[in-house]
Chains A and B, each alone.
Chain A
Amino acid sequence: MPDLLRLRRTYADRGMRLILVSGDFASDADQAAAFLRELGVDFPTYRKQGDDMEFINALDPKWSGALPASFIYDAHGQLQKSIYGKAPYDQLNEQMTALLEPAATPRR
């Protein structure tokens, strides 16, 4: 979580939006909200409602549903990268750099 927030601080004014979606149960929603407040999250976050399978397949049909998971979509809403498990800052940073400055880093 701190890595995701750090990523947001770095890239928010360069067009990156961080959407946090909690898979917590309704009965744990208050606890989840308190945890986010403690981390200094001061932007809207979401909690999954409805059917698990629909949710999972909408984000990434290859995803098993195991949490944590991070999904990186480009400006056109196309899924560019899925990271299953914890997402290390270096990996996130690399993805963001590639997505936000494609012209500056030509691929060989």
Chain B
Amino acid sequence: MNLPHVSAVFRKELRETLRDRRTLTVMFLFPLVVYPLVSLLMAEVMAGKQATDEARTSHVALVDPDPASRATLAALLDKKGNGIEVTRDVSLAQATGLDVSNGLIDAVVEVAPEKTAAKAKAAGPLPVRIVYDETRPISDQAHDRVTKALDSVLPNGCFQSYAVTGASLATKTKVGGYVLSKILPLIVVIMTMLGAFYPAIDITAGERERGTLETLLSSPVQRFDLMTGKVLAVAALSLLTGVLNIVSMSLTVAEGARLAAGSPILAIPWPRAAATLLIVVPAAFLFGSVMVAIGAMARSFKEAQTLLMPVYLLCFTPSLVAGMADFRLTGLTMLVPGTNLTLLARDLMLGEAHLLATVIVMASTIGFGAVALAFAARLYDSERLLSSTDADLVSLSAWLRHLVSRPAAPGSPEATGAPPVPPSAGQAVALFGVAFVLWFFAFTWLQRWNLIPGLMISQWVGFLGLVWVYARLCRRPLGDVLVFRRPAPLALAGAACVGLSGWIILGILADKVMPPPREVVENIRNLIHPPGGSRSLALSVFALAVTPAICEEALFRGAILQGLRRQFSLPVSCLLTGILFGVMHGDVWRFVPTTILGVLLSWVALTSGSIIPSMLVHVLNNGVLIVLGYYGLDQAGDNLSGRASVLILGAAVIFMLGGLAAIRRAGRQTPAATGA
């Protein structure tokens, strides 16, 4: 073996790969951000589902002609901790399976008179029959709870007191639909996505790599028409994959069940399976559009694969969450791409789909697909495709700088040592990626070890330190990166109003849009104000209000927002920064309010032309909550009447609007405001 040759090849390949910013980002940074994010999301959702399931009470009807036996059974079932409530509704005293099917009751616990008599003679366990519907999770849970409660009752002689049998009302077809509803939606969505994967790469990056792109773009065809044709081709192939999967999966389940049981234990509801095909059309269009848009960014087949794998995973996650968490298809869920399709497919298979929900899911999915298509058409611009080139990256230091900044063109101010160029959107995203990786792999661990010191290190050394390193690498003063300027007094007054009112509006919004489980709320309360009052108010305010107001603002409203503003409009920059801010808080339940707070803070920073007002909003928003928690007033709102709540909300909205108007007015008088 010629080691110098091996070494030369090794070094050359490594150098070449490391100079490709996109490959590098996807190869290292993206997995470090996306996979933790996905696992975090899954864990949060599953924990939430488990908490909700456990908190839910099973309502059962007890039908027992013997009053003494009935009283004993009712007492057993009603025992605290069982999660069962025996209904006292007299109309359900003789409940039947029909009441279970109609959803009036979760299960019926029956003790037949002849069984009571038989038990008296034989002195054996009392036969109890649970009538339930195994295809309804609530009813199935009631069956499990009743079984568990009665099985655990042992008399002195350690013989079981009750012989429990279950009688499911579900027909074979219903069971077939139920089994399919558990596996088919997720598989269909995933396979439809997979069906779009390679065709999307082939017709975009493949076209570019094979040299046919220039030929095609010299034809007088509108870019939107071109991309529509391409997306429809990909969607058609994807649709075919989805349909084949539905048919094959249905047959496989039916046949598999027959082989396992020796006789058919379930039947496939073919009309419902056919109805499920409905989701494949918008799914194929959406995934086709998204993948074509991503493929259009890539310069080669290999790069498209590298870019699409994380996107595939991201698209796959909402469906997986929907499949596992068993959400209801209502409210915002109907608008979450992937999740809504999976849930609609489930409901169609169970025969429980509603027309309005079906229309909303289909329309929103097609809408998202159309947005992705428009984006793809914008990307497929010959100017971009034929003139993009990578920078002259030679040395390791240049490469390191390249990671966080745009490459310096020969003769540019950067290359000649003149003042550096302003920040870019690429830098902002890269900075967020690095911060997220640090947060997930180091800071959360630090905070679990010891909250207050961990938080201090994460924020001051982590976030603020990162911004400092970024400023050094870009050769820009820290104050410039942070937009640390003296704001107008009116902007500060407005920020004070926004900070003092924002928490009320956001708190109510969080409760309305996505109410968090009780455990999550308790955890946050304990975090703000530990039980036993072991932390002083001053320390809590400094650690949980002042520190994030400075460090998080430096990162998000300083470096990230300013970078995004270079490329995007004011609303889009605020929205993107808000989303990144929401993601960094790593809590599904707080995502919506945190994102809105992030958007608000971004708007304040850009409109006022300084980071100081957004810091003030942040410190007041957190600070008020901490002070209320400290004095035990944070739950006072729960006891307010509806009218009082409306009045407080109205006052908060007026206060906030006034604050925003003041900031806007102050911003108009400040030349540097609104960024860009």
- Are A and B associated in one complex? no
